[in-house]
Amino acid sequence: MLKPRRAKIASAIVLALAAIIAIPVMAQSKGGSKFVCWKDKTGKVVGCGDSVPPEYRDSAGSQLDRSGVKRGAVESAEEAARRRAREEATAKEKADERRRVAEQQRRDATLLNTYANEKEIDQRRDRDLQQIDLMITQLQPPLKNATDRYNDAQKRGAKEDMARAAAEKEKYEREIAAKEKEKAGITERYAAQKKRFTELRGGGQSAAAPASSPAAKPKK
């Protein structure tokens, strides 16, 4: 009977010691202490602790409390870099949009301060087109002279004269073509201004429609 009694006493002592050891662990768990588990390159969890070893910091892990309950994910270096890149791209898009809106507001204010009505826009457009037409008219005589010299040299078979006249003729033709293109750009620009002006004044889309028709003519 003595041996069973000693065994019971020994068991009681072991249980008491275990309870004493468990108290700090439970208190630490209740205190909210956390640790992390880390993975290898294959995604397998290979260890847990208070901090991730340097050789595993490029791999994502899980943050656990002392009872083993998952509290959140720990970013890998690659994931953190991608997140920062996304945040920077989003911030850049927002900044670009703010600049675009500010620039549009500035242009709108300038447009409203420059013209009193749509008629003034048409008059300004016509003046600019007339200036370009005058430049084209001034280029016509030298173009005709170069063309005449080219034709004369061709009849005489004078290759050097033909080459010089051809180069001069092409030069004036390019200048005239550039002026015609400039006219088309002017017409389109004033059409857009007139449309926007009408919208800002609350006239809707219909009033701006006629302004777009002259822009199509130079393109044909």
The pLDDT of residue 5 is: 65
Strand partners, 63: 36, 72
Q: Which tokens hold the place of 64?
A: 């656990």
The half-sphere exposure of 2 on its side-chain side, counting CA atoms within 13 A, is 0
Q: What is the 3-state secondary structure (H, E, C) of 9-65?
A: HHHHHHHHHHHHHHHHHHHHHHCCCEEEEEECCCCCEEEEECCCCHHHCCCCEEEEE
Decide if pLDDT at 22 tops 50.
Answer: no
Q: Which tens digit of pLDDT belongs to each residue from 118-157?
A: 999 999 999 999 999 999 999 999 999 999 999 999 999 9
Decide if pLDDT at 92 tops 90.
Answer: yes
Q: Which tokens hold the place of 8?
A: 């019971």
